[in-house]
Amino acid sequence: MLSVFCSGEVVCEPPNNKLDRFSGTLYWKESKFPLSNQNMLLRGCVLRNTEWCFGLVVFAGPDTKLMQNSGRTKFKRTSIDRLMNTLVLWIFGFLVCMGVILAIGNAIWEHEVGMRFQAYLPWDEAVDSAFFSGFLSFWSYIIILNTVVPISLYVSVEVIRLGHSYFINWDKKMFCMKKRTPAEARTTTLNEELGQVEYVFSDKTGTLTQNIMVFNKCSISGRSYGDVLDVLGHKAELGQKPEPVDFSFNPLADNKFLFWDPTLLEAVKMGDPHTHEFFRLLSLCHTVMSEEKNEGELYYKAQSPDEGALVTAARNFGFVFRSRTPKTITVHEMGTAVTYQLLAILDFNNIRKRMSVIVRNPEGRIRLYCKGADTILLDRLHPCTQELLSTTTDHLNEYAGEGLRTLVLAYKDLDEEYYGEWAQRRLRASLARDSREDRLASVYEEVESNMVLLGATAIEDKLQQGVPETIALLTLANIKIWVLTGDKQETAVNIGYSCKMLTDDMTEVFVVTGHTVLEVREELRKAREKMLDSPHAVGNGFTCSEKRSAKLTSVLEAVAGEYALVINGHSLAHALEADMELEFLETACACKAVICCRVTPLQKAQVVELVKKHKKAVTLAIGDGANDVSMIKTAHIGVGISGQEGIQAVLASDYSFSQFKFLQRLLLVHGRWSYLRMCKFLCYFFYKNFAFTMVHFWFGFFCGFSAQTVYDQYFITLYNIVYTSLPVLAMGVFDQDVPEQRSMEYPKLYEPGQLNLLFNKREFFICIAQGIYTSVLMFFIPYGVFAEATRDDGTQLADYQSFAVTVATSLVIVVSVQIGLDTGYWTAINHFFIWGSLAIYFAILFAMHSNGLFDMFPNQFRFVGNAQNTLAQPTVWLTITLTTVVCIMPVVAFRFLKLSLKPDLSDTVRYTQLVRKKQKAQHRCLRRVGRTSSRRSGYAFSHQEGFGELIMSGKNMRLSSLALASFTTRSSSSWIESLRRKKSDSAGSPSGGADKPLKG
């Protein structure tokens, strides 16, 4: 079928990651066709309103622009993991040092003493010198002391992480009832890093917002509609909504549309001309395509959801946009079909921020309908409407304060002559060879003036549930949130406001939109200067700045006042270049909120990488679409929003759940606990191994450095596996310092994780020091007691086996008491494990030292009778008690003093909770910001110009339906479905139109 094309050839650029650019040439039948981005479909695109089309695959697989945008998958590890590896290396070095010291000791000892002791203890045959003996002893000690290198640590850490992952999976509070999706920890290796996140990079659409636009309010000729009123006419609170307005009068109404204010419908029914004109405008002035599969079943295909919302609103209020042809628009106005002649579409673009249509109504009147951003449109109104203007402005302010996106609607009557003349000029302008855009813009500008104000609409870009609260909470937890979105600037800023990332309390919001390196650099420089110049008294003060001074990379971080940065994709491209990235980072990090708009997937990843590289902070990326995949892969932790559309983000992510608001629970509760538990676990683990092993080292000095162990071999084998593993595992899995509600109430509790306070090199050395201290006491106290002691029946006490049992017993008791101190949350399981470990120690001890086992294997169980003989001695128990108290009391004293002098927030919270069971509201850190907002217009058509040109050209109408391609990788399942269908269709369909290139 495509064989006719065989002679064709495409010459194009090599595979690259630029989504908005393509250049190539198609050679076919000796003629050249230029190929631009207009002719390209990106991987993952969906064809809508099209039964089939022909295309040519230019790049496939990893060469596609989208795949070029996705980062490489890297193996993710937590910072604690890396630290642990370093520490284990250090410990290994320490082990070798100990080995060397003891080996030297052995050589000296053998030379000084051992040589002369040969009458009783001859050297082994192979040993001919003290030096060689020392060499052998080195290896013996490496074997004996290897328990300092915690082999079982890795296994235990994984077990704990697995437990934490299960807790995430099991969490009911992260289960989305609506979509029946639980949260899912897709990797089990990153849990504790969730407690250390400093930067959150969030996608906007589908993550912060639901990508659903709802027609929420409107102002028509000075009257505002849309407030939810209760019976008495007061604004009703949420939760007590009355019945929605009943649209049953209109058979064409979309029953998914809900509106709460019945007065608007009354106004329409009353036939108020302003209201009618208002909805007429909404039903005419747009670029929506309609599809009517069955009579009365209308489907609107809107390029941006805002437009869809507006047209749907008009539809429900009785102005149903039914169908359009290149030259006409058919609207059912209150049940009667009216066909307007479409004369011109003055399309939207970023500079104009408005769109207009010029239509001729059946009576022959020509009218221009315009909708656009308030800032632009209010200047172009007819001066006679001052009063209406001020009322509408008030309404607009009010809407903006509620975080709604507003549009102003206006119309203008044109007379035939003027229009004819204007149409001529427009034609000339559109045919002009150079600066066509500018000429057209001025022609448009001319006609869109002196308009009559109709009113304003307010659209709610529906946020996901709980987004502003989550962002506020995360901000209080010192987590910086950056929004990286492919949307255009206005949309992103709007969302920034509605989810309280940006507030009017902010000192300034910097907007960087430069197109060249110099412009961007200049804008960034100005922003920094402004931040530095501002009086430092502003703002709520950086109280913790001294604490964090170590982390400051520049004075900029201590800037007073709240700033925000909004940067555009094309500026970001320059800002991310090697020589400017630090400047950008510095500026951005000084701001409280950063919004990057119109960024490509790769840029998202680059921003994340930049922060990751230079800030040494833990980053988390959250998103739902395929365009977030590279960012999710790059960040330390990637979170996928599941259950929305598509699974690419989820598949690439480390954690997934279905609502952005669960992020607060994931970080503040699960992450915080995980981090806390892991740190406590590691501290204790290193401690117990050092306390256990270092005793051999001290003993070495008293046994001729002969690599004699202090303990029974079975104790050495079982210590790590049986006697001490389960209590610390239970702590690592179940421990909680404060209940989950408190971590939400006091977001500052999250800070220790970000500052890496609970386990770092310093903490490690403290643990090691404590372990060594314990080991010293563990050896020297029994040494002091046993040196000349005898039992209460006069026989020798200080035999090796009794010594071993005494030291081992005190060690097990000391480490058990220590884990008891460390355990903050004694569940039944903790009790069981801790007491059980002690019990099992004594049980095994007595079993190993029993006659029965000795009778069977006399050479294996040499300690026969030892336990009962040794542990019956009061001296032994006095020794054990003394050792325990001396080892534990300093720890208790230290903790008590720390609690009294320098309590952590978590200690204070626990203390407060203990003292006053009832919670005090004033302690709640959650500030409810009463926001006074400036007006923000959201003429939020998404990425490109509308379809105006397309509609007017009528190209899209050639086939019965529209061939629109939009870049929507989100609906992955559906696009593959449709692709498959298309394929089979086209395979079956007869040839024809095969040579027709796809436009659009």
The nearest distance, CB 945 to other proteins, in angstroms, is 33
Q: Is 598 annotated as a binding residue?
A: yes
DSSP-H helix ranges across 330-415: 374-377, 386-401
The closest alpha carbon to 750, from 393, 474, 989, belongs to 474
The nearest distance, CB 160 to other proteins, in angstroms, is 14
The nearest distance, CB 481 to other proteins, in angstroms, is 24
The closest alpha carbon to 67, from 969, 965, 964, belongs to 969
**Residue 111 burial (CB count, 10 A):** 15
Q: Mutual orientation of helices 581-590 and 517-533 as an angle, nearest 10°?
A: 40
* SS3 call for 554: coil
The nearest distance, CB 114 to other proteins, in angstroms, is 8
Known active-site residue 261: no
DSSP-H helix ranges across 712-798: 713-718, 725-734, 740-745, 751-754, 761-786
Q: Give dist(CA 548, CA 749) in Å, integer.
A: 15
* SS3 call for 594: strand
Record the tokens describing residue 589, joined without a space.
Answer: 């990090």
Q: Is 371 annotated as a binding residue?
A: yes
| Residue-wise burial string across 197-235, b where 16 or more C-beta atoms lie within 10 A, e elsewhere | bbbbbbbbbbbbbbbebbbbbbbbbbbbbbebeeeeeee
Q: Which is nearer to other proteins, 300 or 825 (CB)?
A: 825
For residue 47, the surrounding DSSP H or E stretch is strand 46-48
Q: Is 712 annotated as a binding residue?
A: no
The nearest distance, CB 357 to other proteins, in angstroms, is 40
The nearest distance, CB 855 to other proteins, in angstroms, is 8
Q: Which is nearer to other proteins, 96 or 703 (CB)?
A: 703
The nearest distance, CB 383 to other proteins, in angstroms, is 57
Q: Is 485 annotated as a binding residue?
A: yes
Place of tokens 């650019």: 21
Q: Is 487 annotated as a binding residue?
A: yes
Q: Is 954 annotated as a binding residue?
A: no
Q: Is 204 annotated as a binding residue?
A: yes
Given a contact cutoff of 8 angstroms between Cβ atoms, the answer to whether 643 and 659 are in contact is: no
* SS3 call for 877: helix
Is residue 175 packed enough to be buried (19+ CB in 10 Å), middle (13-18) or exposed (0-12)?
middle
The nearest distance, CB 363 to other proteins, in angstroms, is 52
Q: Which is nearer to other proteins, 64 or 873 (CB)?
A: 873
* SS3 call for 256: coil
Q: Is 604 annotated as a binding residue?
A: yes
Taking the CA atoms of 815, 816, 821 and 822 in sequence, report the sign of the dihedral they define.
Answer: positive
Amino acid letter, 725: S
Q: Which is nearer to other proteins, 489 or 706 (CB)?
A: 706
Q: Which is nearer to other proteins, 292 or 855 (CB)?
A: 855
Non-local CB neighbours of 517 within 8 Å, separated by 6+ positions = 574, 577, 580
Q: Is 205 annotated as a binding residue?
A: yes
Q: Is 227 annotated as a binding residue?
A: no
Q: Which is nearer to other proteins, 179 or 436 (CB)?
A: 179
Q: Is 216 annotated as a binding residue?
A: no
Q: Is 203 annotated as a binding residue?
A: yes
Is residue 23 packed enough to be buried (19+ CB in 10 Å), middle (13-18) or exposed (0-12)?
exposed
Q: Which is nearer to other proteins, 487 or 654 (CB)?
A: 654
Q: Give dist(CA 615, CA 783) in Å, integer.
A: 51
Record the tokens describing residue 359, joined without a space.
Answer: 């239509």
Q: Give dist(CA 368, CA 280) in Å, integer.
A: 12
Q: Which is nearer to other proteins, 88 or 176 (CB)?
A: 176
Is residue 890 packed enough to be buried (19+ CB in 10 Å), middle (13-18) or exposed (0-12)?
middle
Q: Is 307 annotated as a binding residue?
A: yes
* SS3 call for 749: helix
Record the tokens describing residue 68, joined without a space.
Answer: 């070029």
The closest alpha carbon to 70, from 602, 805, 861, belongs to 602
The nearest distance, CB 821 to other proteins, in angstroms, is 8
Q: Which is nearer to other proteins, 685 or 734 (CB)?
A: 734
Selected catalytic residue, list 81, 124, 128, 203 = 203
Q: Give dist(CA 836, CA 723) in Å, integer.
A: 9
DSSP-H helix ranges across 146-198: 151-170
The nearest distance, CB 861 to other proteins, in angstroms, is 9
The nearest distance, CB 781 to other proteins, in angstroms, is 7
Q: Which is nearer to other proteins, 27 or 139 (CB)?
A: 139
Q: Which is nearer to other proteins, 708 or 944 (CB)?
A: 708
Amino acid letter, 24: G
Q: Please give the C-alpha separations between residue 693 and each of 382, 802, 812, 900, in angstroms, as whole numbers.
A: 89, 18, 13, 33
**Residue 107 burial (CB count, 10 A):** 21
Which residues does the annotation place in the binding site for Mg(2+)?
Answer: 203, 205, 624, 628
Catalytic (active-site) positions: 203
Which residues does the annotation place in the binding site?
Answer: 203-205, 307, 348, 371, 405, 485-487, 598, 604, 624, 627-628
Which residues does the annotation place in the binding site for ATP?
Answer: 203-205, 307, 348, 371, 405, 485-487, 598, 604, 627-628
